[in-house]
Chain A
Amino acid sequence: MVDVGNAVWALILPGVVLILAVATASGNAALGARDRGTPVHAAAMSPFRETGRLLRQQRRSVLGADSLLWRIGGSGLIVAAFLAALAVPIGALAPLDIPVGVVWFNAVDVSLWALWWLLGWGGNSVHPLIGGYRFLAQALAYEIPLMFALTAPAIGAQSLRLTDVVTAQQPVWFALTMPVAFIVYCVSVTAFSAWGPFALPAGTDIAGGVLGELSGVDRLLVLAGRWCLLVAGAAFAVPMFLGGGAGPLLPPALWVLVKTCALLAVFLLLGRAMPAIRPQRLAELGWVLVLPLVLLQLLITSVLTVMGKG
């Protein structure tokens, strides 16, 4: 019975992620329109119109581009987002309830290095290339802190399985007991989606960066992939740091949705409020400041876990 439910959920999960991604994009457009003074309701419908327009638009290619790798990079973003979201337990349903759910997410976010680089390099064009390498520069700064931040809930739950991590948060959520790990995780999610202060891989100063040479359905896949990555990252934070489906009144599945949407709203508002960080400034910050803090957080968490155990 649960297996059928899992299979069904695995099939409709991409749709759910896409719906949330469209909603987030729509919210972003509406906020932008409110700032700019353009009609808000028209902007809120812009994801749909843009999808239609891009599907009607002609595709482009560039001479000398490695089309196979370029398109793999472009279409891989959305696939990675779906794979990451697959591991999130929704109440009793967990289509991918492997014993190493935490490492699964880590493997997906590592594959983003390959995908963004392919997207930037594959097009044989200077501005996308610079955009791809800007992403790598950002990734160098956030990846190691992210890996350590992901192990913090695993230490707290003494298991790599996501359902165990959820049950270990019964009294207090991990976002409160391991705040540094939570903040590093949230920052890393915005970074691997190239959103907000980390949006320079697709920045205007390099004529759109990795988005530059794309048009038509290729562009649609990358734009959708970026939003879906943000949604998947927010969804994964729910079992890891925000207590999973725990909460009064509503069923667990609904709580997961509510918490995901709340975190997405936070990402949206905070991401818009800040100027972009030039990637070369991040390396020193990530390694000299953030990494020791995360290691300290791990130490504290480990000590607390051992003490709590015996």
Chain B
Amino acid sequence: MTMMATIVFWVAAVVAVLAAAAVFRVDSMARATYALAVSFVAGGVAVLVLHLDFIGVITILMMVMEMAVMAVFMVSYMGMNPALMPMDMTHSKRPAAVIAAAVFVGLAAAALLIPWPARAGTAAADTTRALGEAIMSSKMLVMLTISPILFATIIAALVLANPRGRYDRLGDDLQDAPADPEPGGIGR
């Protein structure tokens, strides 16, 4: 990697770790969420350094959106509980520390001690495409069709989860005007 890329990678790595640690140190849920967002964005930047442009930018996009939504939910659901006050977010401290240390040692050993093969040939022109084909190969079409199905499933689940159904809204014979606490824009 070039000098610039190396520097960016190391900065992103340090930021990611520090921000992740900050998640457990700050006192407010909103700050914890956005510290996590910073950590994820730094991770996305590290992926960008590897020339995986699409995956890097999509990671940043998804993580920022998720953290924005999560902040809203965190503040909503932890309202009465001291969401904005000093709190301790760690549980089972001793077992967690042991497991964390063990996983760190294991992953570090794997990263440093495994004899990674040297690159044979040159990098593909479109690394994202090459990565996709390497991971999914013949199942690519399946993955493409699954995503709209997932989208439809999420929407269907939301519709099913609504406590008020058609009969609550439109009366027993589905003939009345819709009785919603807040009328929608179309008037269905």
Of A17-25, A233-241, A281-289, the one with at least 4 CB within 8 A of chain B: A281-289
With contact pairs A103-B54, A107-B64, A160-B54 given, residues A282 and B71 touching in the complex (Cβ less than 8 Å):
no
A113 at interface, CB cutoff 8 A: yes
A57 at interface, CB cutoff 8 A: no
- B182-A280 in contact (CB<8A): yes
- A117-B31 in contact (CB<8A): no
With contact pairs A114-B67, A280-B182 given, residues A106 and B61 touching in the complex (Cβ less than 8 Å):
yes
Instruction: Identify the closest chain B residue to A124 (Cβ).
Output: B84
A155 at interface, CB cutoff 8 A: no
Number of A-B contacts (CB under 8 A): 75
Min CB–CB distance A237 → chain B (angstroms): 19
B15 at interface, CB cutoff 8 A: no
Complex alpha-carbon distance, A136 and B68, angstroms: 10
A95-118 with Cβ < 8 A to chain B: 98-100, 103-104, 106-107, 110-111, 113-114, 117-118
Taking CB atoms, residues of chain B closer than 8 Å to A113 are 64-65, 68-69
Complex alpha-carbon distance, A113 and B58, angstroms: 16
Complex alpha-carbon distance, A100 and B72, angstroms: 29
Complex alpha-carbon distance, A66 and B75, angstroms: 13
Residue in B37, B75, B184 whose beta carbon sits within 8 Å of that of A121 in the complex: B75
B23 at interface, CB cutoff 8 A: no
Taking CB atoms, residues of chain B closer than 8 Å to A284 are 184-186, 188
A2 at interface, CB cutoff 8 A: no
With contact pairs A69-B31, A114-B71, A284-B184 given, residues A100 and B54 touching in the complex (Cβ less than 8 Å):
yes
Instruction: Identify the closest chain B residue to A112 (Cβ).
Output: B68
Taking CB atoms, residues of chain A closer than 8 Å to B72 are 117, 136
Instruction: Identify the closest chain B residue to A161 (Cβ).
Output: B53
A68 at interface, CB cutoff 8 A: yes
Taking CB atoms, residues of chain A closer than 8 Å to B57 are 98, 100, 103-104, 107
Interface of B is mostly: helix
Complex alpha-carbon distance, A98 and B58, angstroms: 13
- A114-B185 in contact (CB<8A): no
Chain B residues touching A, range: 20 to 34
Chain A residues touching B, range: 20 to 34
Min CB–CB distance B74 → chain A (angstroms): 11
Complex alpha-carbon distance, A282 and B182, angstroms: 11
- B54-A66 in contact (CB<8A): no
- B184-A114 in contact (CB<8A): no
Taking CB atoms, residues of chain B closer than 8 Å to A114 are 34, 37, 64, 67-68, 71
Contact flags (1/0) for A61-96 with B, using CB distance below 8 Å? 000001011001000000000000000000000000
Taking CB atoms, residues of chain B closer than 8 Å to A118 are 30, 34
Contact flags (1/0) for B12-41 with A, using CB distance below 8 Å? 000000000000000010110010010000
B60 at interface, CB cutoff 8 A: yes
B139-187 with Cβ < 8 A to chain A: 182-186
Min CB–CB distance A292 → chain B (angstroms): 11
- Interface pairs A-B: 9 shortest CB-CB: A284-B184, A281-B185, A285-B185, A107-B61, A114-B68, A113-B68, A284-B185, A110-B65, A103-B57
Chain A interfacial positions (CB closer than 8 Å to B): 66, 68-69, 72, 98-100, 103-104, 106-107, 110-111, 113-114, 117-118, 121-122, 136, 160, 280-285, 288-289
Chosen A-B contacts, 17 in total, with CB atoms closer than 8 Å, are A66-B30, A66-B84, A99-B53, A100-B54, A107-B57, A110-B64, A110-B65, A110-B68, A111-B64, A113-B64, A113-B65, A114-B67, A136-B72, A283-B185, A284-B184, A288-B184, A288-B186
| Given pairs A66-B84, A103-B61, A106-B61, 11 additional interface contacts (CB within 8 A) | A69-B30, A69-B31, A99-B126, A100-B54, A107-B60, A110-B68, A114-B37, A160-B54, A283-B184, A283-B185, A285-B186
